[in-house]
Amino acid sequence: MRIGLTYDLREDYLELGFAEEDVAEFDSPRTIEAIEGTLNGLGFETERIGHVRSLVETLAAGRRWDMVFNIAEGVDGFGREAAVPSLLEAYGLPYTFSDPLTLTVTLHKGMAKRVVRDLGLATPDFAVIESAAQAESVDLPFPLFAKPVAEGTGKGITAASRIDDRAELVQVCAGLIEKYRQPVLVETFLPGREFTVGLVGSGLEAEVVGVLEVDVRDGTNSAIYSYHNKENCEELVVYRLADDDQARQAAALALDVWRGLRCRDAGRVDVRADALGRPHFLEVNPLAGLHPEHSDLPILCGLAGYSYPWLIGRIMASALSRANLAWEPFTSAMAAGLRRVA
């Protein structure tokens, strides 16, 4: 079975003049090598395709695959993560992870929170701000938290993101709108514990892998899980598995969110507790990073006792099941060795 690999490589965009922060969500060669090597070890033949423009050229040249392992983030617009899946659907080609509807809704944090709120699930009160003038009339109690509405990897999040008064709110929103050319999500600041919940599977088959508590070291960027802290997580962030009552509540909330937003195969849901310890949904990452040592989901799986091949195998098993495909070498590999780490 031939598997195509679609992705955005950081180096490709840096050569085009993009800044380091611009490519923060894109992948390193280590990630692509790890995914490809693991897929080969599971019995699949692989072909590297690359970003969406390479996909267009490759499809136009007549190349096809049995399945595409897609982790392409895209570059511009609220539909950037949906670009590759939309193109693959036009050609009738199955792929891993969520569909264009889910990827577009979840990329826009405000839209995702509206859906989650409509599902009756807890999420902080919020507003989507499109201008500094609009920030003047936000009717939410301070302190607040502000971030770009459609970025990941902590982009746009700094110590200044926690806001205590109206003047700060206007200044921060104006700066984020100018820098990122998109609206700003402003929500009630939650002072409690922060979790990221790892999930695998789709629909009723989805399950929680584990709950990772995120603890930014004291004195580090005001203890906010910022872009800087994420990029330097090995030195600045402590990750620990959590399995107390509050963590289990976070896991239940994350599973409801995952199913309600129709996310597929694997990903993360970020949750934070309020002053009373009640978990609230912050955002979902249906295209979670897969760097074996640096990304939250593989880190979580490792701490929970699951290997990197197990994670990639579960992603493929979910995607193949949705596409009604089977591949005997993969089935044998799953049966023989894809279990928890000893």
Q: Tell me if 129 sits within 8 A of 135, measured CB to CB.
A: yes
pLDDT score at 46:
98
pLDDT score at 342:
40
Q: What is the pLDDT of residues 239-287, one digit of tens each?
A: 899 999 999 999 999 999 999 999 999 999 999 999 999 999 999 999 9
pLDDT score at 233:
62
Q: Does some domain include residue 115? A: no
Integer Cα distance of 113 and 12 in angstroms: 33
pLDDT score at 339:
55
CATH number (domain holding residue 90): 3.40.50
Predicted TM-score (pTM) of the model is 0.92
324: left (phi over 0), alpha (psi -120 to 50) or beta: left
Q: Which two tokens stand for residue 68?
A: 């595409």
The per-residue pLDDT of the chain, averaged, comes to 92
Q: Does some domain include residue 286? A: yes
Q: Does some domain include residue 216? A: yes
Integer Cα distance of 177 and 196 in angstroms: 27
Task: Please provide the distance, in angstroms rounded to a whole number, between the alpha carbons at the two ends of the chain.
Answer: 29
Nearest to 109 by CA among 76, 141, 146, 74: 146
Q: What is the pLDDT of residues 60-73, one digit of tens each?
A: 999 999 999 999 99
Question: 3-state class of 210 per DSSP?
Answer: strand
Amino acid at 256: D
For residues 211 and 150, membership in a common domain is answered with: no
Q: What is the pLDDT of residues 107-144, one digit of tens each?
A: 999 999 999 999 999 999 999 999 999 999 999 999 99
Whether the bond between 183 and the residue before it is cis, its omega within 30 degrees of 0, is no
**For residue 341, is pLDDT > 60?**
no
Task: List, as one string, the DSSP characters of 87-140.
Answer: HHHHTT--BSS--HHHHHHHHSHHHHHHHHHHTT-----EEEE-SHHHHTT---
For residues 172 and 129, membership in a common domain is answered with: yes
Q: What is the pLDDT of residues 146-176, one digit of tens each?
A: 999 999 878 999 999 999 999 999 999 999 9
Q: Tell me if 7 sits within 8 A of 51, measured CB to CB.
A: yes
Across the range 3-19, mean pLDDT stands at 91
Q: Does some domain include residue 342? A: no
Q: 210-227 in b/e burial notation, b at 16+ Cβ within 10 A? A: bbbbbebeeebbeebbbb
Q: Does some domain include residue 120? A: no
Structural domains in the chain (count): 3
Q: Does some domain include residue 104? A: no
For residues 55 and 26, membership in a common domain is answered with: yes
Q: What is the pLDDT of residues 200-246, one digit of tens each?
A: 999 999 999 999 998 876 654 456 665 565 556 667 778 899 999 99
Q: Does some domain include residue 249? A: yes
Q: Which structural domain range is residue 172 located in?
A: 125-188
Angle at 224 between CA 222 and CA 230, to 5 degrees: 125
For residues 323 and 264, membership in a common domain is answered with: yes
Nearest to 204 by CA among 269, 241, 259: 259
Q: Which two tokens stand for residue 183?
A: 């609206």
Q: What is the pLDDT of residues 289-319, one digit of tens each?
A: 999 999 999 999 999 999 999 999 999 999 9
Q: Does some domain include residue 28? A: yes
Question: 3-state class of 150 per DSSP?
Answer: coil
Q: What is the pLDDT of residues 18-52, one digit of tens each?
A: 888 888 889 999 999 999 999 999 999 999 999 99
Beta-carbon contacts of 338 under 8 Å, excluding residues fewer than 6 positions away, are 42, 307, 309, 310, 313, 314
